[in-house]
Amino acid sequence: MDVAATRDWVHGIAAAIDEHTDLLTQLDSAIGDADHGANMHRGFAAVVAALEGREVATVGDLLVTTGMTLISSVGGAAGPLFGSAFRAIGKALPDPNADPKQLLVGLTDGLAAIQRLGAAAPGDKTIVDAYAPALAAFEDELAAGGDLVCATSRAAEAAEKGMRATAPLVARKGRASYLGQRSVGHQDPGATSTALIFRALAEAVAG
């Protein structure tokens, strides 16, 4: 993955968030405070602005800028969580381009950053429920000899499946956890954004 594809990834996320802002808001209005769409929209608009006209030498530079911008521009849980993830992914990728194995290390560090900050386990109805299966699918596909296009495509499918599987769960972290059993039957907003992020990665890599 080169800098241009990484730029496409981040712009693809911004476009997907733009297209799905209302959905994210609706999901968060059911089990949160109805600001997830606005939070993500503000964050990725700030990222696009921060990257505009900025020369970046490496994939990592671009992703660290993305993460820092999310952290500084988004209040609420998801900004710091996604921001820390992008910053961690970026820190793992110091070369101009990232090969599939390096990206695996980066994505692994990204999930670790989310879990260090938010302490969510799989099944808690959070970002982790889309991210962890996406990462596992990415790793499996590489181990089976798949290329980056296949690995990111499998990851996107797994993220979407994980996102849908959050609906029957009881939330155990974040605002939705205040609802306890009443959180059942609603898809998690942050897991939904995570699926958009992995789908955008697959599309950027496929070109």
What is the token pair recorded at 171? Answer: 């939330």
Minimal distance, residue 206 CB to Mg ion, in Å: 32
Q: Pick from Mg ion, ligand ADP, none: which does 103 bind, CB < 5 to 8 A by kind?
A: none
Minimal distance, residue 77 CB to ligand ADP, in Å: 4
How far apart (Å, rounded) are the C-alpha atoms in residues 189 and 2?
A: 30
Q: Which is nearer to ligand ADP, 81 or 158 (CB)?
A: 81
Binding site for ligand ADP (CB under 6 A): 28, 32-33, 35-36, 39, 76-78, 81, 114, 118-120, 126-128, 173-175, 188-191
The alpha helices in 119-188, defined as continuous H runs, are 128-143, 148-164
Q: Is 75 left (phi over 0), alpha (psi -120 to 50) or beta?
A: beta
Q: Pick from ligand ADP, Mg ion, none: which does 174 bind, CB < 5 to 8 A by kind?
A: ligand ADP
Q: Which is nearer to ligand ADP, 76 or 83 (CB)?
A: 76
Binding site for Mg ion (CB under 5 A): 28, 32-33, 35-36, 76
Minimal distance, residue 170 CB to ligand ADP, in Å: 13
Among positive and negative, which fits the CA dihedral 206, 204, 18, 134?
positive
What is the number of residues in the chain?
207
How far apart (Å, rounded) are the C-alpha atoms in residues 207 and 83?
A: 25
Tokens 């952290």 correspond to 71
Minimal distance, residue 58 CB to ligand ADP, in Å: 28
Q: Pick from ligand ADP, Mg ion, none: which does 20 bind, CB < 5 to 8 A by kind?
A: none
- Quote the strand ranges of the chain, DSSP E: none
